[in-house]
Structure 1
Amino acid sequence: MKRRDLFAAGFGLVSFAASAQQQGVIRTHALSLLGEPALPADFPHFPWVNPAAPKGGEVALTSLGSFDSFNPFILRGTPAVGLTNLYDTLLMESPDEASTEYAHLASAIELPADRMGVTFEIREGARWHDGRPLTAEDVVWTFNTLREHGRPFYRAYWADVTEVTADGPRRAVFRFRSNENRELALIIGQLPVLPKHWWEGRDFARPSLDVPVGSGPYRLDRFEPGRSVTYRRVEDYWGRDLPTRRGTNNFDALRYEYFRDTTVDFEAFKAGQIDFRAENAARNWATGYDFPAVRRGLVKRDEIRHERPTGMQAFVMNLRRPRFQDARVREALCQVFDFEWLNANIFNGLYTRTTSFFSNSDLASSGLPVGKELAVLEPFRAQLPESVFTQENRLPTTDGSGNNRDGLRRALDLMRQAGWTIRDRRLVNAQGQRFEFEILLNGPVFERIALPYVQWLQRLGVEARVRTVDPAQYQVRLDAFDYDMTVDVIPQSLSPGNEQRDFFTCAKAQENGSQNIAGICSPVIDALVELVIAAPDREELVARTRALDRVLLNGAYVIPQWHLRAFWIAYWNRFGRPARNPKFALGLDSWWIDPELDRALAEAKRGL
């Protein structure tokens, strides 16, 4: 969710291939945060795609839960999956380069000498599915509408934009609060542009199943509310020959079928009703694919390594609840969690423990703070625990036997320090109130993880309960911060920045619908987030991010879980694939239906 850096070390502008500079204005085809873009202005297509891939066929995919809206940009309602296929963005990220975006809906990007804004020149010929031209006025309306009526994320992400105007029908001009937010031009490039004319007379803040008008490679073709939705490839899509689109979006139709739980979902895949599956359950991956279609070679499996940061998946405690506001309590609950037992007995040893909010990247903190990272932290020494400077952030480990006596002893000691004592085998406070809480889940898959944790907590005298609700109800409760503990994934990129405000700052801790799920509110973390956003170069960004990571880990706001450095995929053998995958994504949009394989599969299925 990041793109590239406009500035290299020393805050100078990086050199751009095929860029021109006139009167201090840089005009370019791409932006990069980590160096010069790899592809020149005249690149014919992304290097991993097959530009001659055939078009055709319908692909059946899957989603969990239900939907009641085609507006994914607001808090209300449960949006259908796949709606991003409807809308073009100003720039297109390259999943083969870290933090790089290329001109897409915009034909060119202009950067003023003072770095106080960015201008996007809308590509001539860009149009909506109803034939009307897409203009800079649509860009202005979209930006202002999302910031005023959209999810809180947009207000945090674009907080440093002061104004956007249309300088003619094809020039959208954004002005910035300062020139220190080095990624701001790139994240504006991610803007999905919406049709102002279609939304006139409609309430943007209300969920709706009105079929929207888009400009992207697919249009919404048909749907059954809550059960299925199909997108049809736009034959005369205006951008089909752009270098950012060539070789992609090869399926004539994308059909998403909804299921209530992953068990039924998997059975539908095994029965051939679903074509492609991204597996996320280690036990399934290790033992669940021994069925006839796999043995006959009709279903293929692959493990695709990637280089993207894996972020933080964790049990998250809601600090808005008084029982979790003491860091010693949070640390005690972490001591009880036995990852090694889970990995050996549930995950078949396939996962790696997550030890950083920026795992699988050079942004993760380690050891003790030194050098530039220490220099970042020094001004906050009086506001931070001394342990930030003197102790490594190490998660507890066990022998995997399930007998975590050392962890329980440490946890009980921490709880006693926080004012909790054991009485009648129950952990209670001075008023005799029991320590109890609920773990909120959005499906049964995680119950096999949460229930062992509940048992370990019982040994500590803690009464924990698991409550599983459907995805729609879960999202409503999440947006309202109506939970004690839940499971969350905090995604990260190789160039963290503005989105950290929504994850970790005080301003978002009480704003319903924000991504600050834990309710973190710390003046030091607020300051570190702003330092990350304003980092002038890569070296400083790494140091500041490591400092932020260290303080977050020291606060024990979450109970880190695990990550996987590969995509696990299974699919019925009817697809053609490019010779390689991009480094940071799966690249399913560059696959195609192979006619010969498709015919052979259809014939073989009749014999199952």
Structure 2
Amino acid sequence: MAFAGPAPAQPAPTTGGAFAHAMTLMGEPKYPPDFKHFEYADPAAPKGGLVRLGAQGGFDNFNYVVSGLKGDLEGGITLIYDTLMVDSGDESFTSYGLVAEGVRVAEDASSVSYRLRPQARWHDGTPITPEDVIWSFDVLKANSPFYANYYQTVTKAEATGEREVTFRFGETGNRELPQVLGQLRVLPKHWWTAKDAQGRQRDATQTTLEIPLGSGPYRLAKFEPGRSATYERVADYWAKDLPVNVGRNNFGTLRNEYFRDSTVLIEALKGDLYDFRTENVARNWATAYGDFPAVKEGRLVKEEFPDRGNGNMQAFAFNLRKPKFADARVRRAFNLAMNYEEMNRALFFGLYKRIDSYYFGSELASSGMPSPEELALLEPLKDKIPASVFTTPYANPVNGTPEAVRANLREAVRLLKEAGYELRNGQMTNVASGEPLTVEFLEFQSVFERVILPFAAQLKLIGINSTLRVIDQAQYQNRLRGFDFDITTTSWPESLSPGNEQREYWGSLAADKPGSRNIVGIKDPAIDALVEKVIFAPDRAGVVAATRALDRVLLAHDYVVPQWASNVSRTLRWNRFARPAVLPRYGGSGFPTTWWYDEALATKTGAPR
């Protein structure tokens, strides 16, 4: 979130000449400069013990720089790098100093300066310097599609003092951008620009399985390529006593275990091969663990944690780069054909709600008719956006009864006919080209088969033949980077303070950049304009109005077939761990960051393998 033009009437406390310990887009920071620890972290938490996390697929890379370009990044590698600031788990979009002891934002938000802590060190004892920060920014922006788009308006990073680095912007008033830069993971320039043990020059643009140098609470200790990676807590970690770290990073050893597919992951959890799982499949939650002895005995704990403050769109996404999906009526026909109500009853055990917003689950989601504040943003774009935005609130089709299914399928056929298709020998066919309308669903999780096959059966009723292709995760990511798909499942997570990432999600400039999050391929001037309104909103009310207006236009184009979501996180864990009395408001369970190994519980449950 940011604002355009002159400085705001009420500048944030982090704006001006003095360095501040925190920055926020939501009023005042909760914690003062002399705070001791976050409320959701227990300073008395014991250190030590092992936690094992399960993951699907594999990895062949430890290079965070190229993780968006090639190779599968080992997920835990981010543990070894510190960021300039740390986000608070019980405030919305508020961060406190880590590598940086202070932050200063220009009055017009045309730049931000970070002052580094003198004690900040790499694991080899070398100080973290402004040169490290500058090199990290430059190499990430040059080699990662995500960061290239995220930082596109950051024109320069430069040292402006012995321990000070300043980022300068090509625009003014973007209040979110300074805070986004606080999330930058700092990489060691001296390590990446040196030679390895064999005398070979390291290359930050290439994948590597050399254990990299870090600065964070853990170091990578050992690994088996594609199978496991073990991280050990750094006993003399330079920042262990900072308020943002007290009571956090408590485990002595953290190990990521990789498994071939989702079915194997479930059996591995039951076999006590890893400790903690978030269960995203309703059928599994309802049926896969109920008769398992360890659950009945309390050794394997099922627990739900509330998800607050975040929005999300998970959907079947069309690839608009394919001409067959260019017409919104064709895309709407797919939504009409999907019998979500029957899916929720038969497959999901009634545990989900249908998503009806790109910001579903948050106050940013649009509903009803546009407010006057939204209309003020939408009216100037009236000739560029669907007329339905002004007349009809978005709604997904409702199926669930035979009568509703028949009515929606008839409407789908009508829309396809309007779009230039007709049924020929039971096949929906483009009248102009004679080409049948066929689609391929591309997935990397076989669990989607049980969802897509009923959907495919419904599509066949209106003459659309479809296939499902399930490939391994590496192939899947490569095909998505090259936009080589018809329809796939994807999601766009949203914070309460949307900003620069909206350009990456929906912006025209991102549509043709390999690896961008604009999976759909949206190129729409009205959406570009509304994204800028979100980024440069003057205040919280402006952010809400602009985001809801953007949401309405995105929905009206039927770019996706929305799927389903829940307002809780469903988890299972082997009962060896304890947690603070207070959980982070916006961090779900907080596991494993603020939890710890409990010897008494582990004795009852049994030690991990």
Q: TM-score range by the shorter chain?
A: over 0.9
Deviation at 1:271, TM superposition (A): 1.2
Paired AA for residue 351 in structure 1: Y
Cα contact 2:85–2:183 (8 A) shared by 1: yes
Measured after TM superposition, the shift of residue 67 of structure 1 is 0.7
Provide the secondary structure at the position in 2 that maps to 1:231: strand
| Partner amino acid, structure 2, of 1:405 | R
Match of 1:89 in 2: 83
Q: Is the 8 A contact 2:3 2:174 kept in 1?
A: no
Give the CA deviation at 1:187. Answer: 0.1
- Equivalent residue runs for 1:32-47 within 5 Å: 32-47=24-39
Question: Shift of the alpha carbon at 1:5?
Answer: 7.2
Q: CA deviation at 1:143?
A: 0.4
Q: Normalized against structure 1, the TM-score is what? A: 0.95
Name which of 29, 38, 48 aligns with 1:56.
48
SS at 1:37 equivalent? coil
Q: Superposition pairs for residues 377-392 of structure 1, below 5 Å? A: 377-392=378-393
Does residue 105 (structure 1) correspond to residue 99 (structure 2)? The answer is: yes
Amino acid at match of 2:285: W
* 1:399 to partner: Cα distance: 2.5
Query: Structure 1 residue 402: deviation in Å?
Result: 9.6
Aligned to 1:66: 58
Identify unmatched segments of 5+ residues in structure 2. Answer: 194-200
Match of 1:330, SS state, is: helix
User: Which residue matches 1:175?
Assistant: 168
Output one character per residue of 1:485-521: Cα deviation in whole Å (capped at 9) or x when no partner: 0000111110101000111111111110100000011
1:544-565 superposed Cα distances (whole Å, 9 cap, x missing partner): 1111100000000000011111
The answer to whether 1:368 aligns with 2:369 is yes
CA distance in 2, matches of 1:217, 1:244: 12
1:159 aligned onto 2:148? no
Give the drift of 1:303.
Answer: 0.6
Query: Does the 8 A contact of 2:575 with 2:605 survive in 1?
Result: yes
* Counterparts of 1:204 and 1:84, CA distance in 2: 15
Give the letter for the 2:157 counterpart.
Answer: V
Aligned equivalents of 2:533, 2:12: Cα separation in 1: 25
Conserved? CA contact 1:310–1:492, under 8 Å: yes
Equivalent position SS for 2:311 = coil
Question: Please, which of 70, 80, 83 is the counterpart of residue 76 of structure 1?
Answer: 70
What letter matches 1:594 in structure 2? D
Could you say which residue in structure 2 is the equivalent of 1:261?
Answer: 261
Count of residue pairs the alignment pairs up: 596
Deviation string 1:335-372 (CA, Å, 9 cap, x unpaired) is 11111111110000000111000111111111121211
Instruction: Say if 2:309 and 2:361, in contact at 8 Å, map to a contact too.
Output: yes
Distance 1:281 1:401, change over 3 A: farther
Distance in 1 (CA, whole Å) between partners of 2:18 and 2:568 is: 38
- Inter-CA distance 338–537: structure 2 relative to 1 (3 Å threshold): same
Pairwise CA distance, 1:311: 1.1
| Contact 2:149/2:503, CA 8 A, preserved across alignment | yes
Asked if the contact 1:59–1:255 (Cα under 8 Å) also holds between the matched residues in 2, the reply is: yes
1:196 aligns with 2:199: no
Q: How is 1:420-569 mapped onto 2 (pairs within 5 angstroms)?
A: 420-430=421-431, 431-569=433-571
Work out whether residues 52 and 276 of structure 2, in 8 Å CA contact, stay in contact via their aligned partners in 1.
yes
Q: 2: distance between equivalents of 1:213 and 1:188?
A: 22
Determine the structure 1 residue equivalent to 2:599.
595
Would the aligned equivalents of 2:2 and 2:536 in 1 still touch at CA under 8 Å?
Answer: no
Report the Cα distance in structure 2 between the residues aligned to 1:10 and 1:46, rounded to whole angstroms.
31
Unaligned runs of at least 5 residues, structure 1: none
Aligned amino acid, residue 453 of structure 1: F
Per-residue deviation at 1:465? 0.4
Q: Distance in 2 between matches of 1:6 and 1:368?
A: 25
8 A contact 2:481–2:516 mirrored in 1: yes
Amino acid at match of 2:170: R
Asked whether the 8 Å contact 1:182–1:535 carries over to 2, the reply is no
Which residue in 1 is equivalent to 2:347? Answer: 346
Of 403-412 and 585-594, more deviation after overlay is shown by: 403-412
Measured in 2, the distance between the counterparts of 1:594 and 1:500 equals 42
Percent identity of paired positions between Structure 1 and Structure 2? 47
Q: SS state of the match for residue 569, structure 1?
A: strand
Mapped to 2, the partners of 1:346 and 1:280 lie a distance apart of 13
Q: Distance in 2 between matches of 1:301 and 1:108?
A: 41
Task: Give, in whole Å, the separation in 1 of the partners of 2:217 and 2:113.
Answer: 24
Task: Tell me, yes or no, if the aligned pair for 1:286 and 1:348 is still in contact at 8 Å.
Answer: yes
C-alpha separation between the residues in 2 aligned to 1:295 and 1:155? 50
Alignment deviations for residues 259-302 of structure 1 (CA, whole Å, 9 cap, x no partner)? 11111111111111111111111011111112010111111111
What are the equivalent positions in structure 2 for 1:100-139 lying under 5 Å apart? Answer: 100-139=94-133
Match of 2:209 in 1: 209
Q: CA RMSD in A?
A: 1.8
Kept after mapping to 2: 8 A contact 1:14/1:36 = no
**Partner amino acid for 2:343?**
L
Matches for 1:390-405 after TM superposition, within 5 Å: 390-399=391-400, 404-405=405-406
Would you say the 8 A contact 2:2–2:538 is kept in 1? no
The answer to whether the Cα contact below 8 Å between 2:108 and 2:173 also exists between their aligned partners in 1 is no
User: 1:15: Cα distance to partner?
Assistant: 5.4
Higher deviation after alignment, 214-223 or 170-179? 170-179
Tell me the distance in 1 between the aligned counterparts of 2:277 and 2:295: 13
Q: 1:11 aligns with which of 8, 13, 21?
A: 8
User: Where does residue 292 of structure 1 map in the other structure?
Assistant: 293
Is the 2:329–2:416 Cα contact (8 Å) retained in structure 1? yes
Q: After TM superposition, give the deviation of residue 397 of structure 1 in Å.
A: 0.7
| Residues 2, 537 of structure 2: 8 Å contact kept | no
> Secondary structure of 2:19's match?
strand
Distance 1:209 1:401, change over 3 A: farther
Residues in 2 aligned to 1:43 and 1:266: alpha-carbon distance in whole angstroms: 41
Aligned counterparts of 2:216 and 2:514: Cα–Cα separation in 1: 31
Corresponding residue SS for 1:356: coil
- Describe the SS at the equivalent of 2:494: coil
What TM-score, normalized to structure 2?
0.95
Distance change (3 Å), C-alpha of 1:90 and 1:26: same
Q: Which 4+ stretches in 1 moved above 3 angstroms? A: 4-7, 12-16, 400-403
The residue type paired with residue 262 of structure 2 is T
| Pairwise CA distance, 1:14 | 4.4
- The 2-side partners of 1:308 and 1:116 are apart by 29
- When structure 1 is superposed on structure 2, of 26-35 and 405-414 the one drifting more is 26-35
Counterpart residue identity of residue 485, structure 1: I
Q: Which letter does structure 2 place at the counterpart of 1:217?
A: P
Q: Structure 1: how far apart are the matches of 2:132 and 2:445?
A: 38
Contact 2:109 2:174 (C-alpha < 8 Å) held by counterparts: no
Alignment partner of 1:246 is 2:243: no
Whether contact under 8 Å (1:217, 1:233) holds in the other structure is yes
Match for 2:278: what amino acid? A
Q: SS state of the match for residue 590, structure 1?
A: coil
